[in-house]
Chains A and B, each alone.
Chain A
Amino acid sequence: MTKTNETIEIDPHGEHHGKAHIGFLQPEGMMTLLTWISFFLIFSVLYKFAWKPILAALANREDYIKKSLDDADKIKEEMESLQEKTQKMLEQAQAESKEIVDKARKAAVQAASVINAKARDDAQILVDNARREIQTEVEKAQSNLREESAQIAVELAGKILEENLDPEKNRKLINHYIKEL
């Protein structure tokens, strides 16, 4: 075993092999070379089979997410404008329907008043006609009555004349006929 105060050198197996003294701060050319070889080996392999596809996939996914979010925003905006449009259309339709209803109501009221007036006129005519008819009927009845009463009076007078009786008898007779009447 060799050991100095300055550096720690190890010779664990004594004379087994020539390059046994390894101070661990001592550069080893072979190790450096091996490191480079292994590093660039794995770098080139990973670059081709891992980093390139992985980074491309990551970038693609980022783009996809960004695009999706943008699309979502756009759709949201469209939805909002659409909603606004429908709201406006709804309001317009409401106003229109209100107008139509108002117009119809006004027309109906007008029509009703016209019909009313016409009905009143018709009724008036009917009433007038009826009144006139009644008048004529009454007049006719009156004239009939007058004629008939005259007739009766004539007949009664004839009968009285035929009997030619005393006043007592006359009275009796008249009463009798009146009762008969």
Chain B
Amino acid sequence: MSQEFDFPTYLMHHVSNSQEWKLPFLPAIHLPEPLSLHGVMLFICCGILFLVFCVLYKKDDRVPSGLTNFLEMIVLFVRDNVAIPNLGKEDGLKFTPFLCTLFFFILTLNLMGLIPLFSTATSNFSVTAALALVTFSFMVFGAIKKNGLKGFCKGLAPSGVPGFVLPLIVIIEILGLFIKPFALTVRLFANLLAGHIAIIAILGIITMFGAAAMPLLSVVLFIYGLEIMVAFIQSYIFTLLSAIFIGQMYHPEH
């Protein structure tokens, strides 16, 4: 570290991906090349999801309770309020596993970011882009598989539009096809990143000004609470918008 404390650099470093996992009182763990801090978070998230759904979730309960009940509520919500209304009954049921995985994967990554020692993989542009690309591939290849190439192209050129506007519409539709996943990417990553930057920035004020700035801790706690809400809301929005975008491509007539 240099003599003067360069806070913006420290802040950016805090929210960025790196090759090191810093633990308190222990030497930082240096991660080998294909892995990085956020990559490790992804696999820890997989472990948590496996633990929660394959070990803790009691599938044999006739009347579920506790954690099983809570998770079941979310699964039912994804099925009945996200998948089926946007994709129709048949496709909705087919897409429920994918949307459930998407929701819980993002939610777990978001919440992990709020636990000390862990880092937020969803505040990494590449991670959210990768997830949005999965949605995008369903929007394009899934739709082509379902409606055929002709049906897919027809979906981009809606009927009932006067001829001279048609080229414009087609351009807008094609642009929209790419903007939608891009919006998904930026929304999730920016929301998660912003929350963390806000928290570390205010904590930075406290470290700079000392005890006088201690009341700001309440603001940090408030933002932390907000972050928990954002973690749920953003994973819900990502899932819902994925369902809506895929639904639009699957059923272009609507």
Q: Do B54 and A45 have beta carbons less than 8 Å apart?
A: yes
- Mask of B4-24 contacts with A, CB within 8 angstroms, 1/0: 001011101101111100000
Is A31 a contact of B17 with CB atoms below 8 Å?
yes
Of the residues A17, A27, A55, A61, contact of B129 by C-beta under 8 Å:
A27
Total A-B pairs in contact (CB under 8 Å)? 130
Asked if B105 CB lies within 8 Å of chain A CBs, one says: yes
Chain B, range 1-46, C-beta contacts under 8 Å to A: 2, 6, 8-10, 12-13, 15-19, 34-36, 38-39, 42-43, 45-46
**B127 contacts A by Cβ under 8 Å:** yes
Chain A at the B interface: mostly helix, strand, loop or mixed? helix
The verdict on B97 contacting chain A, using a C-beta distance below 8 Å, is: yes
Q: How far is the CA of A26 from the CA of B39 in the complex (A)?
A: 16
| Min distance, Cβ A6 to any Cβ of chain B, angstroms | 14
Contact indicator A39/B35 (Cβ below 8 Å): no
Q: B38-67 vs A: 1/0 string, CB under 8 Å?
A: 110011011001100110010100100000
Bound complex: CA of A145 vs CA of B167, how far in Å?
159
Judged by a CB distance under 8 angstroms, whether A82 is at the interface is: no
Closest Cβ neighbor of A42 among chain B residues: B46
Q: Please give me the residue from chain B that is nearest to A30 by CB atom.
A: B34
Report if A54-B46 is in contact (Cβ < 8 Å); known contacts: A12-B9, A30-B39.
no
From A30, A50, A57, name the one whose CB has the most chain B CB atoms within 10 angstroms.
Answer: A50
Give chain B interface residues in 110-146, CB to chain A under 8 Å.
121, 124-127, 129-131, 133-134
Evaluate contact between B97 and A31: CB separation under 8 angstroms: no
- B134 and A36 within 8 A (CB): yes
Q: Which residue of B lies closest to A39 (CB)?
A: B105
What are 11 A-B pairs with beta-carbon distances under 8 A?
A1-B2, A10-B12, A22-B17, A24-B15, A31-B36, A35-B42, A38-B42, A38-B43, A39-B101, A42-B50, A55-B75
